[in-house]
Amino acid sequence: MSESTQPTEKVNYKPTLNLPKTSFPMRANLAQNEPQSMKRWDKQRLYGLVNEARRDGQPFVFHDGPPYANGSIHAGHLLNKVLKDIVVRSRLMAGKNCPYVPGWDCHGLPIEHRVMTGLVESGKIAKFNTLTDNQRRMAIRRECRKYADKHIKLQAQQMQRLLTHADYDNPYLTMTPDYEQAVLEVFADLVQQDLVFRALKSVHWSIENQTALADAELEYYDKTDISVYVDFEAVDRDAVAQAFGVELDQTPTFMIWTTTPWTLPANLAIAVHEKFRYALVLVDGNVTIIASELLNKVTAAAKSEAVEVLAETDGSKLVGLRYRHPFCDRESPVVAADYVTLEDGTGLVHTAPGHGVDDYNTGLREGLDIYCPVLGDGSYDDTVPEWLVGKNIWKANSEIVEHLRRSGHLFHDHEFVHSYPHDWRGKSPVIFRATDQWFVGVERPTRWDKQSLQQLALDKTETEVNFIPQWGRNRMRGMLESRPDWCLSRQRAWGLPIPAFAMENDEVFLTAASVRAVAKRFGEHEGGSDAWFTEAPEELLRHYNPADDPDAPDNLDVARLKPMYDIFDVWFESGSSWNAVMRQRDLGYPVDLYLEGSDQHRGWFQLSLLPALAVTGQPPFRTLLTHGFVVDKDGRKMSKSGGNALDVEAVLKDYGADVCRWWVSSLSYENDVKADTGFFDLASESYRKVRNTLRFLLSNLFDYDANQSDAAQLPAPNALDAWIMHEAGRLQQQVAAAYTTYEFRRVHQLLYDFCNDTLSATYCAAVKDRLYCDAEDADRRRSTQRAMFTIADMLSRLLAPIMPHTADETFRALHNADDPMQTVHLQTQVELPDWPCNERWPSILELRDVLLKAVEMAKSSLDVDNPLDIGVKLQLLSNEEVVRSFEYQDLADLVGVSRIDEEPSNTDVEPSVSGVVFRAYDLRDEPRCDRCWRRTVDTTARSDGATLCDRCADAMK
């Protein structure tokens, strides 16, 4: 700063200025202060108050999907719950009636598995095993319920810490009696439409525990088995010869390979790959068929000496040929299958639909029996050859090999070590076994114009469901098209029982009316579906009268019924929530919005859609919004074991919920979301920018009384104020629209840019001088304060859905709230009046940019540091009218220089960007106001020796 322009004696004018004052802290200290906000809201019972206040508002029906009641919340929950909360809060702010009932998925294998593991580890399992079946089931269920309760409490607490505004006092739980009742009512409706049936399906089966096992209950260990190459004799020699285009005088065989000889009695097909080449070979005097590529490997393994390829053909030519089973009296076909590989075996795959998933699917497709001659205890039933009946399958393995060897069907055998699934508890090997299961038939006609569920689902998602993002529709369609029948049953204890009974004649008793009767019983029973394990059939069916049931079997004797113990797939329970929650609690149906991760296209979305369509004929949702998954900073999947999972609790503690939510609002959530603690540093920075802008507004309102300074008493707003109010109005409309269309990222962008650019860098910088230096009561200053007050109030409301704590803190500071009941969250958005403002503002802002650059250049060329030591002369050419419609002082404030004025235009000069010619010049020789530090034309020496501008001289009076 130049010495020559400094006043000789320094008077401190600082006390005469209206400098900002506020108790609103610069540092948010969210980790400490957010819990206090939560307490205040809790005490005033805010959730209920808001609902009460919005009771007559237009409803917006939102339905929360239930997370699984297991473990702590993770990054995915953070994203999901915050997005939901932003939706709900923004709808409430718009005056909508929008309840948010949170829910939990309580039943199911993961909990049961954890509980069982605990029992095994603690040794309690021994005691459980001494109980009767139903006592044991009840004991397990009690443990599972305790486990679920504990985690629901934990998660609810963590979700509340995210500042979500939901009815945590009345959540829905899939394990409560009322919920269970409503699920069974949905099921009854499906039964009534004949959509439910029983059929065989291959499952992992533990012989040791005589139970079906889920994938999660398998452990893989190496197991030594006998692997065998078996010749299956062709039925029609000529047909085979024709397929290979040769003549044959010997009946050829199909050579298969298997490591489970005990499944051979259930063989019903041989699968080949249509695109592979197969060879007709003379090996050691026999003619057999092997995949060409595997021929050498197989004959080498068997140490065959004489190998001669007679012909080759495509797999597709073999399809349809038939063969004779080596020791069962039947013929079976060769079929095509894609899963046939050339890695092991012969390229011809032994297929037993009762003993394998691929085999099972092939069996369904080819219309084969799902034949399973193995009983639950691992012994053969009486449908197999006599020498095998009653034998244990593991023992039978070697007998079958010997039998094949003797009958000449065994080409080769050797021991083979492979990874094989074992029961996680007993560590014994499991088998695949076809068992009776319950299904929902997706291709059966429903009561809705006889269309199938699949067809209804395809049609309705095409026309009646809105997808965000759009590609969700394709994804859903693809999944629906390939949707198999829905297997509803599981063989577990922790779940809702499928209320079926076995009759004396071994037939199954389950009708729509009987299901409804049990539903009613569960609903009124304190323990809900626990009744299934503690009550006799007469009690369970106390609301059932066979005389009123057209489907009741003739010979029904309720007293002699035996309950069956399959439970529902948990997806059927959560998939009935539209009934168990939304319809039962009268919250609105169909629902406006389901919002979940994109994995739920197959999960909750689809499995809610199917039952709802069956029962109501319409989709349960109008809009499906999906978000991506949270991945690590390199875009890789997060996992606890991978060590790259985000610690949500730590992030909340270090950054606070408002920062986390501000981060969530910045995401393009439709794609995968990268997250790392470092990302929250950035969100923190940007949060602080917004916070500081709010603080600046608040700090300049310390002497402003919004009630007294009513609009009527104030003069027309200054051009700057009119402009910022106009911008604020536009912002409000854009933000409101973006909230409505779930474009939170745009909301974030708009709010950030407005705070950072429009307010902080432009408006606030420009009005500082008048706020600080104008007389306290000057019209110009009051007009500015009015704008700032209005905007701060508006911003607190616009920000409330994203940062509930900070918005409330701002709102309460602005309104000097001592009353704990005062909160932004009971407010609705105020529509700002359409403020007229000079329509030339865009040109002026362009001019500002140009002049800022000019000032920057002048600073170096004139060797000036402080822009207040610079003045700008304009030559107005094409845009005379535009510039002259503004006051030069306002322009100077916008650019941050002491003064801007005109000079006569010189026609020789080329106009620059905005049609102006400008010249920045050094003002350091001009007097500088001691109070406002500007070098305006009216700054002169005053009688008391001070150098002041007129405005400051006035303000001092």
Q: Which residue has the tokens 């939990």?
A: 104
Q: Min. distance of Cβ 471 from RNA in angstroms?
A: 4
Nearer to RNA, 442 or 518 (CB): 442
Bridge partners for 599 per DSSP: none
Q: Min. distance of Cβ 357 from RNA in angstroms?
A: 6
Q: Which residue has the tokens 């049990």?
A: 518
Nearer to RNA, 26 or 830 (CB): 26
CA distance 594 to 472: 13
Q: Min. distance of Cβ 600 from RNA in angstroms?
A: 8
Q: Which residues does 14 contact at the CB level (< 8 Å), separation at least 6?
A: none
Q: Which residue has the tokens 């608040």?
A: 698
Residue 513 — φ and ψ, nearest 5°? -70, -40
Q: Min. distance of Cβ 685 from RNA in angstroms?
A: 5
Nearer to RNA, 397 or 684 (CB): 684
CA distance 41 to 29: 18
The Cα angle at residue 310 between residues 306 and 314, in degrees rounded to 5: 125
Q: Which helix H or strand E contains 689, and what residues bound it?
A: helix 677-699
Q: Which residues does 614 contact at the CB level (< 8 Å), separation at least 6?
A: 189, 190, 193, 195, 440, 446, 453
Q: Min. distance of Cβ 266 from RNA in angstroms?
A: 19
Q: Min. distance of Cβ 788 from RNA in angstroms?
A: 11
Nearer to RNA, 231 or 769 (CB): 769
Q: Min. distance of Cβ 634 from RNA in angstroms?
A: 8
CA distance 509 to 384: 30
DSSP helix/strand/coil, 742: coil
CA distance 339 to 359: 10
Nearer to RNA, 10 or 406 (CB): 10
Q: Min. distance of Cβ 698 from RNA in angstroms?
A: 10
Rounded to the nearest angstrom, the gap between the alpha carbon of residue 908 and the centroid of all alpha carbons in its chain is 65
Nearer to RNA, 180 or 893 (CB): 893
Q: Cα separations (Å) of 690 from 452, 522, 743?
A: 54, 53, 19
Nearer to RNA, 834 or 856 (CB): 856
> DSSP 3-state helix, strand, coil percentages of the chain (rounded to 5)?
45, 20, 40
Q: Which residue has the tokens 């062709």?
A: 234
Nearer to RNA, 90 or 762 (CB): 762
Nearer to RNA, 199 or 502 (CB): 199
Residue 350 — φ and ψ, nearest 5°? -60, 125
Nearer to RNA, 493 or 750 (CB): 750
Nearer to RNA, 129 or 482 (CB): 482
Omega before residue 469 within 30° of 0, cis: yes
Question: Checking phi first, is residue 373 left (phi over 0); if not, alpha (psi -120 to 50) or beta?
Answer: alpha
Return the half-sphere exposure (C-beta side, CA atoms, 13 A cut-off) of residue 698: 23
The amino acid present at 744, given as its one-letter code, is: F
Q: Which helix H or strand E contains 654, and what residues bound it?
A: helix 648-655
CA distance 345 to 302: 12
Q: Min. distance of Cβ 693 from RNA in angstroms?
A: 5
Nearer to RNA, 503 or 956 (CB): 956
Residue from 219, 698, 265, 147 nearest 423 by CA: 219
- Using alpha carbons only, how large is the chain's radius of gyration in Å? 39
CA distance 534 to 563: 11
Q: Min. distance of Cβ 269 from RNA in angstroms?
A: 16
Nearer to RNA, 635 or 715 (CB): 635
Which spans in 304-345 are helix H?
A: 315-318
Nearer to RNA, 153 or 637 (CB): 637
The amino acid present at 171, given as its one-letter code, is: P
The tokens for 55 are 């009771």
Nearer to RNA, 37 or 762 (CB): 762
Residue from 536, 540, 488, 489 nearest 514 by CA: 540
CA distance 105 to 328: 48
Nearer to RNA, 43 or 636 (CB): 636
DSSP helix/strand/coil, 55: coil
Q: Min. distance of Cβ 941 from RNA in angstroms?
A: 18
Q: Which residue has the tokens 């003619």?
A: 287
Burial of 643 (0-12, 13-18, 19+ CB in 10 A): exposed
Nearer to RNA, 210 or 474 (CB): 474
* 252 touches 240 (CB < 8 A): yes
Q: Min. distance of Cβ 735 from RNA in angstroms?
A: 16
Q: Min. distance of Cβ 74 from RNA in angstroms?
A: 12
Q: Which helix H or strand E contains 873, and what residues bound it?
A: strand 870-876
Q: Min. distance of Cβ 20 from RNA in angstroms?
A: 5
CA distance 376 to 491: 13
Nearer to RNA, 395 or 637 (CB): 637
Residue from 284, 279, 225, 231 nearest 254 by CA: 231
Omega before residue 590 within 30° of 0, cis: yes
Q: Min. distance of Cβ 662 from RNA in angstroms?
A: 12
Count of CB atoms within 10 A of residue 650's CB?
10
Q: Which residues does 774 contact at the CB level (< 8 Å), separation at least 6?
A: 18, 780, 781, 951, 955
